[in-house]
């Protein structure tokens, strides 16, 4: 009892009361500062939202003005060709400033599509800052660099082991492991490409659809039980050809990554491309790259179709009658035809552009 009374007396002492007042004042001050911070932040967000809406309207209006001016140029036949060419170049430069500069964050973003929603949910993946967008693109390029080397080494190792260790007959597990890696690879590429498109990149839709098909094919291949002896060489002929095609694809990817990125940087400097654009096999721009890469691409596309036809041939002859063989054969032929048509379309566009530039140079000389 005496100890309790002594404790109460200490709590009621002037020193304890002063300490309580000090703590209470400090807490009240912190609470008041939190309220002031909340009010300041709310005011700033409201002002930023208002300014952002104003900039968004200006960006949309300016983009519409560029389209209107371009339409006027196309309809007006009275202007001199040199003036038309100069004005078109100025409009293209203005459009690149709008779509590739900081103002692009205020333009409407492209729809993200079901693929991103399926993996990420209803999340906005558009970056508002240009440096973040460029980091996304550089990470995509780095991912392609890493996978290009693996695309070459993985099937090479399987084919070498087939000849040296496995007596000409591939086991099921290593091939399925390779297909699982392809599924991971193409899923990662498709996710990154959808995010790049949402941030203003010009990736052609066909390449994304191509990777969807490749994902499906890799997934189906995981359920395909590759049979061994007897007649292992005949039954695995399609698999062997596919691995050889994958090696060629790895070489093509390494060449693309080496040569074409420099061309893209040149186009960006000239105002003919955006910083978020990416390069593929058919985007080579100079004659040396054209002579080197286009034959490789056409050979790859022909070989891809041949592999698909070989799979269908083995299925229809009864060598391997699983439905996976037929499905993968059809997908390979479909992807080869799509790649070929896309490459030819790009070649025709380049030919028209070169003819236009030659005509423009001739007019300037005249």
Length of the chain: 366
CA pair distance 355, 366, nearest whole angstrom: 17
Q: How far lies 66's CA from each of 62, 93, 317, in Å?
A: 6, 10, 60
**pLDDT at position 304 over 80:** yes
CA pair distance 29, 27, nearest whole angstrom: 5
User: Could you please report the per-residue DSSP string of 51-81?
Assistant: HHHHHHHHHHHHHHHHHHHHHHHHH--SS-H
Helices (H), 101-171: 113-120, 130-164
CA pair distance 192, 208, nearest whole angstrom: 10
CA pair distance 138, 201, nearest whole angstrom: 12
Tokens of 339: 């790649």
Greatest mean pLDDT among 97-106, 257-266, 281-290, 323-332:
323-332
Residue 358: helix, strand or coil by DSSP?
A: helix
Q: What is the mean pLDDT of residues 24-38?
A: 88
Give the pLDDT score at 330: 92
Q: What is the mean pLDDT of residues 51-63?
A: 80
pLDDT tens-digit profile of 153-204?
888 998 898 888 888 788 888 888 999 999 999 999 999 888 888 877 777 8
pLDDT tens-digit profile of 353-365?
666 666 655 655 5
- Residue 326's pLDDT band, with cuts at 50, 70 and 90, is confident
Torsion of CA 41, 46, 51, 54, to 10 degrees: 160
- Residue 283's pLDDT band, with cuts at 50, 70 and 90, is very low
CA pair distance 122, 108, nearest whole angstrom: 16
Question: Residue 255 in contact with residue 231, Cβ under 8 Å?
Answer: no
Question: Residue 336 in contact with residue 308, Cβ under 8 Å?
Answer: yes
């Amino acid at each position: 009892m005496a100890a309790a009374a002594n404790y109460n007396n200490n709590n009621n002492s002037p020193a304890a009361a002063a300490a309580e007042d000090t703590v209470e004042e400090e807490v009240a001050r912190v609470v008041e500062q939190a309220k002031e911070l909340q009010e300041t932040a709310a005011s700033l967000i409201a002002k930023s939202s208002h300014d952002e809406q104003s900039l968004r309207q200006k960006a949309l209006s300016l983009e519409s003005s560029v389209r209107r001016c371009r339409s006027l140029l196309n309809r007006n036949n009275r202007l001199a060709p040199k003036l038309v060419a100069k004005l078109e170049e100025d409009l293209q430069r203005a459009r690149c400033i709008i779509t590739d500069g900081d103002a692009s964050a205020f333009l409407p973003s492209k729809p993200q599509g079901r693929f991103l929603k399926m993996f990420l949910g209803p999340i906005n993946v558009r970056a508002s800052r240009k440096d973040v967008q460029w980091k996304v693109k550089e990470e995509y390029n780095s991912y392609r660099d890493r996978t290009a080397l693996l695309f070459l080494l993985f099937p090479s190792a399987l084919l070498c082991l087939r000849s040296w260790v496995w007596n000409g007959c591939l086991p099921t597990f290593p091939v399925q492991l390779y297909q699982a890696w392809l599924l991971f690879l193409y899923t990662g590429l498709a996710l990154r490409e959808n995010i790049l498109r949402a941030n203003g990149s010009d990736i052609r839709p066909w390449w994304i659809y191509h990777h969807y098909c490749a994902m499906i094919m890799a997934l189906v291949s995981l359920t395909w039980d590759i049979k061994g002896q007897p007649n292992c060489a005949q039954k695995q002929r399609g698999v062997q050809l596919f691995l050889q095609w994958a090696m060629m694809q790895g070489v093509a990817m390494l060449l693309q990554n080496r040569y074409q990125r420099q061309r893209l940087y040149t186009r960006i400097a000239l105002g003919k491309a955006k910083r978020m654009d990416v390069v593929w096999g058919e985007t080579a721009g100079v004659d040396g790259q054209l002579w080197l890469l286009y034959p490789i691409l056409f050979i790859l596309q022909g070989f891809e179709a041949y592999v698909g036809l070989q799979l269908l041939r083995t299925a229809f002859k009864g060598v391997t009658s699983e439905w996976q063989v037929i499905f993968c054969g059809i997908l390979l032929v479909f992807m080869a035809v799509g790649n070929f048509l896309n490459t030819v379309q790009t070649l025709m566009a380049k030919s028209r552009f070169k003819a236009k530039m030659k005509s423009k140079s001739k007019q300037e000389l005249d």
